[in-house]
Amino acid sequence: MSIKPLNILVVDDDKNFAHTLCAILKSSGYECQEVHSVREAQKILKIDRFDCVLSDVKMPEKSGADFYQEIKEQYPNLPFILMTAYTSSEVIDEAINSGVLKAIQKPINIQEILSFFARLSRNLQAAIVCEEQKVCSIIQKALERDRFTFTIYKSIRLLIDANKKDYSIVFIDSHNHDEHFSGDIHELLDHLPERTIVIICDYSKAAEQEEPKHDKVNLIILPREKQLSQKINNILEKEYYQYAKKSIQ
């Protein structure tokens, strides 16, 4: 399975800087698009999907921090990096407090940026325990969309016996579970601590339960319903964002 390169959006009213940065990123194997205003950025975000945004702090229409506050309502898990020519720690602290992934000073250290994207490009790995083709297909499409590689297992026991520790997330379709299901789940949680385990079930009561916070609970129950695909996408976007936060530190 081929994984698409990262798609990066550069937002800066300095056209020469934006063009040069995009050219460097493209020459390093990434996809990159440049825009020179917040308005252009808002338009392109509606028609294309990006893995990260690099935005200048100060632009004519509004600040990059204000721009981030706007887009995070629609794209809460989109990694966003602010670039600033200001040396004031107050400006940088304000940017960080707004929730951006990082604030970096201009002139930027291009090697630092490339190293971050190199880490971010490392494919997250997922495991799927599923037999029903329709559900398997939904999970696979979502994983491919968010640049995950994955392995499919026919049972939780086979997944545990494989003894692989590099999965960041596991999807389990409980449609044909047997009497060992509960015990296998508990063993899997011990086998893969601090990973995200997503169980897809038929129980209607699962739809009524409040979904646990993703960064505190590693067990998520999803009902098998029409919105399943979107809910899986939301979980994967959160997983990707958490990985981006770790990658930039």
pLDDT digits (tens, 9 = 90+) for 10-22: 999 999 999 999 9
Q: Topology of 7-120 in CATH?
A: Rossmann fold (3.40.50)
Who wins on pLDDT, 89 or 234? 234
First to last CA, the chain: 29
Question: What's the pLDDT score for residue 214?
Answer: 38
Predicted local confidence at residue 70, as pLDDT: 86
Can you name the CATH fold of 123-248? Rossmann fold (3.40.50)
Compare 225 and 106 and report the one with higher pLDDT.
106
Quick one: pLDDT band at residue 209, thresholds 50, 70, 90? very low
Q: What pLDDT score was predicted for residue 1?
A: 53
pLDDT (0 to 100) of residue 28: 96
Can you tell me the mean pLDDT for 122-149? 90
Higher pLDDT, 223 or 19: 19
- Which pLDDT does position 72 carry in this prediction? 86
- Whether residue 232 has pLDDT greater than 90: yes
pLDDT of residue 176: 64
Question: Does the structure show a pLDDT above 60 at 215?
Answer: no
Span 40-66, average pLDDT: 88
126 has pLDDT over 90: yes
Is the predicted pLDDT of residue 211 greater than 50, yes or no? no
User: Does the pLDDT of residue 69 top 90, yes or no?
Assistant: no
SS (H, E, C) the chain: CCCCCCEEEEECCCHHHHHHHHHHHHHCCCEEEEECCHHHHHHHHHHCCCCEEEEECCCCCCCHHHHHHHHHHHCCCCCEEEEECCCCHHHHHHHHHCCCCEEEECCCCHHHHHHHHHHHHCCEEEEEECCCHHHHHHHHHHHHHCCEEEEEECCHHHHHHHCCCCCCEEEEECCCCCCCHHHHHHHHHHHCCCCEEEEEECCCHHHHCCCCCCCCCCEEEEECCCCHHHHHHHHHHHHHHHHHHHHHC
Supply the pLDDT for residue 226.
77
Question: Comparing 34 with 144, which gets the higher pLDDT?
Answer: 34
Q: Return residue ranges of the chain for CATH 3.40.50.2300.
A: 7-120, 123-248
Average pLDDT for residues 157-185, to the nearest whole number? 87
